[in-house]
Structure 1
Amino acid sequence: MSDATPPPPADDSGLVTGPDGRARPAWAAQSDLLRDYYDVEWGMPVRDERGVFERLSLEAFQSGLSWATILRKRPAFRAAFDGFDPDRVAAYDDHDVERLMADAGIVRNRAKILATIGNARATTALREEGDDLAELVWRFSPAETPRPARIADVPSTSPESIALSTELKARGFRWVGPTTMFALMEAIGIVDTHLVGSHRRGSSGVWPS
């Protein structure tokens, strides 16, 4: 299926069965880019500092936009933000802010850019306190994961995402609201919100199918 080919219609649960016979949510059937992201990356465990920082940053940039937009721009984001190396981003100055604001390859939102730089500094500050961003985020894993049968069953927040948001804000992070943190938890495998009928359900190894 190419990006120009409309996906097949979704069933009552919101799943689409592609030409390969695999069931995916309708959002993941909209393009090759989204399909590949869903099949390979989304929901798989990310436990390293840089990986979590990158995804936290991209989730913040995604706020108010489509994920497809961010995914298309991800190579440019990585180039602009030095591969999301927290130490390098933490050292950015006003010149870097203006450089980023002039970069058409990324989302040029000053508040989000400043939040990303501030979050890099908060990430490095965690180390000075003997903590680690990835370990902190994973400490908010729930006792059980949702088991959505339909798209409508997928929550947008959880008690854990609310608590994570509160903790990160207390540690100096910005643009880390409960909804954004739940999206992060979905993306890095802390929760499994693949629909029960999806071919990806249980694929992370963190939760049973």
Structure 2
Amino acid sequence: MASERGAQAEGRCDWCGTDALYVAYHDTEWGVPEYDSRALWEKLVLDGFQAGLAWITILRKRDAFREAFEGFNPEVIAQWGEADVQRLLGNAGIVRHRGKIEATITNARAWIDMEEKGGFDRFIWDYVDGAPLRNTFTTMAEVPPVTDMSARMSKDLKKAGFKFCGPTIVYAWLEATGVVNDHLVGCPRHEEVAAMAR
């Protein structure tokens, strides 16, 4: 997400460039506090698929991912096995990476386990005492790729059985789900998403 150029003329964070899909994602989704446990899990899975790729690649394939992964229903995905992995490896609409597909199945099982122990959503939001962290960065160069919290959460997620959840992936996910508000202070969305916090 980082860029040296700061915000665009209209004040928007410039990591989304001018691609209409990316701009819409920035303007309507990125940074909005997400409290739904299943939706949080879906976004973590997609951030895991993004590893090594540009987020716009995942965004363009998101509908195909949702179809291929049964609407990201963890209860369904947790039952999958090798036949399902093979089916997904043949699906050109998604990122065909065996390790990431297998991790999604593993992560569905870990999500179910965590839900039964108090909730995946509560696990995540407890790190910030239920209130989004609101940063005050003025340029994208100031935004870190990793923080102590994302490293700690990554370690805890791995301990709980999750895969493809390294500190960098976790931090990008926390930004996307509004657990951390990293819209630049000059971006209109900085205040807008702050107002959406519970």
TM-score between both structures, scaled by the size of structure 1: 0.87
- One of 7, 28, 33 as aligned partner of 1:15: 7
After TM superposition, where is structure 1 displaced by more than 4 Å over at least 4 residues in a row?
none
Amino acid at match of 1:15: A
Mapped contact 2:146–2:167 kept (Cα < 8 A): yes
SS in structure 1 at match of 2:62:
helix
- Could you say if the C-alpha distance between residues 12 and 177 of structure 1 is closer, same or farther in structure 2, counting changes exceeding 3 Å? closer
Mapped contact 2:13–2:184 kept (Cα < 8 A): yes
Q: Distance in 2 between matches of 1:206 and 1:58?
A: 26
**Greater RCO (CA < 8 Å, at least 6 residues apart):** 2
Q: State the number of aligned residues.
A: 193
Q: Distance in 2 between matches of 1:207 and 1:53?
A: 20
Instruction: Give the C-alpha shift of residue 12 in structure 1.
Output: 7.2
What does residue 173 of structure 2 align with?
Answer: 184
1:114 and 2:102 are equivalent in the alignment? yes
What does residue 37 of structure 1 align with?
Answer: 25
- Could you say if the C-alpha distance between residues 89 and 178 of structure 1 is closer, same or farther in structure 2, counting changes exceeding 3 Å? same
Q: Percent identity?
A: 41
TM-score between both structures, scaled by the size of structure 2: 0.91
1:98 and 2:86 are equivalent in the alignment? yes
Q: Distance in 2 between matches of 1:27 and 1:73?
A: 19
Instruction: Give the C-alpha shift of residue 171 in structure 1.
Output: 0.4
Q: Distance in 1 between matches of 2:12 and 2:193?
A: 15
Structure 2 counterparts to residues 124-139 of structure 1, below 5 A: 124-128=112-116, 130-139=117-126
SS in structure 1 at match of 2:12:
strand
Instruction: Give the C-alpha shift of residue 204 in structure 1.
Output: 1.7
What does residue 164 of structure 2 align with?
Answer: 175
Tell which structure's C-alpha radius of gyration is larger: 1
Q: What is the CA deviation profile of residues 147-198 of structure 1, one whole-angstrom value per residue up to 9, with x for unaligned ones?
A: 1111100011111111111111110001111111111110011111111111
